[in-house]
């Protein structure tokens, strides 16, 4: 994809009302020149989230997240930078300009745009056919019979493909699309005797969208028992990749961030029923395979995933594989057991939201589910069966490390196998690294929305932040200090901020790296603080000299450790002279 021109990014940032954007996710109240509210990135009762409409930045003083309006859209909606730019540009009416690009790349981009347009047109046709055609009466009856209401069906764009062989084909050609484009979009397929015909016929159609709401393809349910398969998806193509999509992600992304969890189900109607019931953090994997790409998509929004898949063996296997797919990262996966022969849509239709809420409340962590499943499937009446069961659960228990729940699971396994807990523990100790198909002990890794450590800042960190903040406030005077400062003066994070300001002092928020949340958070906080704190010449000089004094202290300590008395004497003399200068500046400022 071609890069946006700098002018485009500037126009998007200037045209965007950050208060309007943020207010869609949390209630904001004016507090002086800023707005405050509860942080949408972590749970809190006392507002610590601040938005500066003039600087168009946000910062949470509780969890440390921060950035400009573009980053907010990226984090909240789970979008990449180009998608966030395009989303804001469309919302606030900004014309996009791109840098000159390779003709082939430009042609590919234009082709993708036409395919998206074709799919959007077709989705609108399917939707109107469902609601307006007498031929779709049975489809409407089926959907309403499952307890789904007009509002949710229309919101998700559910439609119906007519039984005619070539309606989409002929309508697409009349609109100026070629047969090749219709085929590339997965809407038609070749006939056995030549020609082409519509892929979806006499089926309920569910548009599958990306996080930006663009249709990638369709899932379609047959209305006739004779039609095989029961569910038919768009073929894999230029836009649609089943492993990279989640049904409902476009409508669930914001809810996932607010709820700090995602609920993964199997089917389209499950998602519709859950959203209708207010459980809007739900998406469907469209099958029983949880893929790394799907978990990565979810991981950009939350670290907490609840699997609510069918209770059959395929569903259980999928939930067990999910941990292997997730690896040993920070994602916490739990399992909400579904009753046999009932999916979430059935539960909501039969027992209302209370039954599903109870299943969520009773969700167990994945190791517990895996152990229970292995024991339930095992032949515990035979010695060989019990031995196989122990061999299957031991790697799972070993991978839990010193987790609090492991001892309880050990007792459960011992009781079910009718053996002593010490034998189970001994088997766990014998597990070699790599047993259990890659499941390892989880490592703690702090995400962007987790609270910052509460440790007090060191004197060096306080001084460096004060000086860097004043440099931002008064770039003309601050430029000299940005050049005089060395990494030795600063903490590791302060050094990264300094390196950034050396090239971005006039506008520190522009172009912040997307892969360094610590840097983004601190720069944002300093920008916001600089708006209300003065940049006095004496204060800047004193803070610089105090940082220089700290650097000298570090060097004196190193010289003492290396027993370099000559160097130590020189440094002590420098420190004495610097102390006098500091006293002189403080006296002038008094």
Q: Where are the domains of the chain?
A: 6-92, 104-240, 244-362, 369-429, 459-589
| Fold that domain 369-429 belongs to in CATH | Pheromone ER-1 (1.20.50)
Q: In 3D, which of 360, 156, 347 has the Cα closest to residue 270?
A: 347
Q: Which residue is it, tokens 């610089």? A: 544
Compute the distance between CA of residue 236 and CA of residue 488 in angstroms, rounded to an integer. 54
At 290 the pLDDT is: 83
At 454 the pLDDT is: 32
Domain 104-240 and domain 369-429, same fold? Reply is no
At 150 the pLDDT is: 95
At 166 the pLDDT is: 94
Q: Strands 304-307 and 332-335: what pairing?
A: parallel
pTM beyond cutoff 0.95: no
What's CA 292's distance to the chain center, in Å? 13
At 281 the pLDDT is: 94
Compute the distance between CA of residue 216 and CA of residue 210 in angstroms, rounded to an integer. 7
At 442 the pLDDT is: 35
- Helix, strand, or coil here: 458? coil
What is the token pair recorded at 63?
């969890």
For the chain, 590 residues long, the average pLDDT of each consecutive 10-residue run is 76 89 89 87 85 87 87 84 88 82 74 94 97 96 92 97 95 96 95 91 96 92 86 92 91 86 92 94 84 82 85 63 61 83 83 85 85 85 85 82 78 88 86 51 34 54 90 91 91 91 87 80 86 81 90 88 89 87 65
Return the exposure string of 518-549: e unless at least 16 CB atoms fall within 10 Å of the residue's CB, then b: ebbbbbbbbbbbbeeeebeeebbbbbbbbbbb
At 449 the pLDDT is: 34
CATH top class, domain 104-240: alpha beta
At 98 the pLDDT is: 78
State the maximum Cα–Cα separation within the chain, in Å, rounded to a whole number. Answer: 98
Dihedral angle sign, alpha carbons of residues 265, 267, 273, 275: positive
User: Which CATH superfamily hosts domain 6-92?
Assistant: Zinc finger, CHC2-typedomain (3.90.580.10)
| Fold that domain 244-362 belongs to in CATH | Dna Topoisomerase Vi A Subunit; Chain: A, domain 2 (3.40.1360)
Burial of 490 (0-12, 13-18, 19+ CB in 10 A): buried
What's CA 114's distance to the chain center, in Å? 28
């Amino acid at each position: 994809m071609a890069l946006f021109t700098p002018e485009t990014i500037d126009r998007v940032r200037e045209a965007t009302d950050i208060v309007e954007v943020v207010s869609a996710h949390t209630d904001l109240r004016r507090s002086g020149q800023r707005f405050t509210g509860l942080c949408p990135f972590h749970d809190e009762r006392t507002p610590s989230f601040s938005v500066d409409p003039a600087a168009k930045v946000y910062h949470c003083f509780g969890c440390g997240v921060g950035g400009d309006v573009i980053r907010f859209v990226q984090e909240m909606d789970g979008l990449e930078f180009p998608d966030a730019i395009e989303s804001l540009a469309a919302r606030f009416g900004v014309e996009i300009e791109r840098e000159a690009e390779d003709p082939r790349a430009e042609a590919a981009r234009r082709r993708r745009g036409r395919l998206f347009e074709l799919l959007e047109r077709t989705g609108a046709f399917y939707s109107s056919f469902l609601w307006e055609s007498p031929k779709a009466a049975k489809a409407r009856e089926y959907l309403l019979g499952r307890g789904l209401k007009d509002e949710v069906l229309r919101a998700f764009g559910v439609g119906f493909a007519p039984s005619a062989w070539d309606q989409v084909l002929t309508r697409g050609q009349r609109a100026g699309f070629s047969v090749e484009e219709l085929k590339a979009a997965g809407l038609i397929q070749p006939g056995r005797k030549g020609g082409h015909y519509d892929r979806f016929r006499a089926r309920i159609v569910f548009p599958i969208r990306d996080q930006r709401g663009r249709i990638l393809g369709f899932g379609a349910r047959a209305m006739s028992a004779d039609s095989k398969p029961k569910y038919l998806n768009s073929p894999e193509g230029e836009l649609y990749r089943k492993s990279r999509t989640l049904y409902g992600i476009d409508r669930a992304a914001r809810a996932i961030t607010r709820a700090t969890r995602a609920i993964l189900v199997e089917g389209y109607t499950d998602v519709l029923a859950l959203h209708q019931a207010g459980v809007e953090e739900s998406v469907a994997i469209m099958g029983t395979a949880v893929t790394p790409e799907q978990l990565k998509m979810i991981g950009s929004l939350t670290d907490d995933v609840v699997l609510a898949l069918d209770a059959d063996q395929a569903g259980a296997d999928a939930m067990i594989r999910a941990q292997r797919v997730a690896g040993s990262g920070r994602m916490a996966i739990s399992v909400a057991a579904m009753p046999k022969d009932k999916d979430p849509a059935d539960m909501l239709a039969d027992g209302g939201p209370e039954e599903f809420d109870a299943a969520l409340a009773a969700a167990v962590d994945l190791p517990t589910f895996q152990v229970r499943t292995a024991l339930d499937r095992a032949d515990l009446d035979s010695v060989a069966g019990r031995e196989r069961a122990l061999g299957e659960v031991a790697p799972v228990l070993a991978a839990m490390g010193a987790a609090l729940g492991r001892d309880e699971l050990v007792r459960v396994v011992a009781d079910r196998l009718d053996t002593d807990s010490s034998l189970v523990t001994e088997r766990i100790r014998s597990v070699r690294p790599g047993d259990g198909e890659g499941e390892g002990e989880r490592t703690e890794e702090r995400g962007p929305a987790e609270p910052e450590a509460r440790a007090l800042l060191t004197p060096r960190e306080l001084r460096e932040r004060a000086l860097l903040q004043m440099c931002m406030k008064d770039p003309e005077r601050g430029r000299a200090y940005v050049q005089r400062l060395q990494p030795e003066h600063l903490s590791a994070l302060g050094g990264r901020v300094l390196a950034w300001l050396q090239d971005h002092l006039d506008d520190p928020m522009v172009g912040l790296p997307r892969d360094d949340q610590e840097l983004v958070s601190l720069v944002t906080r300093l920008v916001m603080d600089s708006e209300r704190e003065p940049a006095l010449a004496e204060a800047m000089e004193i803070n610089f000299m105090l940082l220089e004094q700290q650097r000298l202290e570090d060097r004196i300590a190193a010289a003492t450790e290396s027993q370099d008395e000559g160097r130590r004497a020189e440094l002590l003399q420098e420190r004495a002279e610097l102390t006098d200068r500091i006293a002189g500046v403080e006296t002038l400022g008094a």
